[in-house]
Amino acid sequence: MTSPPTLVLDLDGTLVDTAGDLTATLNDVLIGEGLPPVPFDAARGMVGHGARAMLSDALGAAGVNTEPDRLDSLVAVFLDIYAGRIAETSRPFPGALEALDRFVAEGWRLAVCTNKFERHSRLLLTAIGIADRFPVIAGQDTYGVRKPDPRHLLETIRDAGGDVARAVMVGDSNVDIETARAAHVPVIAVDFGYSRTPVTDLGPDRVISHFDDLYQAATALLPGAARV
């Protein structure tokens, strides 16, 4: 029996606009260290690779070379603060919920594959009321590997009951595109996310500017997945 098609989405900058809450958390940590806050536009470009990378980028931009043990402590502080404001301003991008409904109605399975920790991913998706749409929410700690390691995506597809040959990845960054390429999964990039490089320059199979265009883009990549 043929497996249903699977749509795997990145979280930050793809499905949900989380930059506001992440930036506020980052600046709380920096201020606690006696450092100036990072302007929103600069901080937005640091989102998408996990809390440790975000902190490391911000500290490096401030000229601070932090020892690994101290960075570990700051990451723990960051995660604790972030859990308390997980969805103060974070919301799905326009059209996202309607697009997800369309895929479910057409028999697709949905999953999330993110470099956020699984706990925070579930907290966020629960807070905005959409966690139950995803049978699998796989964070950087779910399988012991993280994007761009293709095993993160492959295990997500497997746990969703999908087939890698009938799956599509959606993301907003070079990490998502590299992950999909390594897993031999077609990839759609959104151009409204947090990539510092225009996603059109990163070589995805499709680029969309609104979730209204996602179903057509996905079924074009998996023609047999579209219902007549």
- The 3-class secondary structure across 173-228, one letter per residue, is CHHHHHHHHHHCCCEEEECCCCCCCCHHHCCCCEEECCHHHHHHHHHHHCHHHCCC
Active-site residue, from 10, 12, 21, 57: 10
Rounded CA separation 95/215 (Å): 11
The whole-angstrom separation of Cα 144 and Cα 228 is 40
Q: What is the dihedral of CA 191, 197, 198, 204, to 10 degrees?
A: -80
3-state per-residue secondary structure call for 83-143: HHCCCCCCEECCCHHHHHHHHHHCCCEEEEECCCCHHHHHHHHHHCCCHHHCCEEECCCCC
Residue tagged 């959409």 (tokens): 130
Which two tokens mark 42? 């600069």
Query: Does 72 participate in catalysis according to the annotation?
Result: no
Q: Which of 117, 68, 98, 126 is nearest to 212 (CA)?
A: 98
The CA distance from 43 to 12, in Å, is: 13
- Hey, which residues are catalytic here? 10
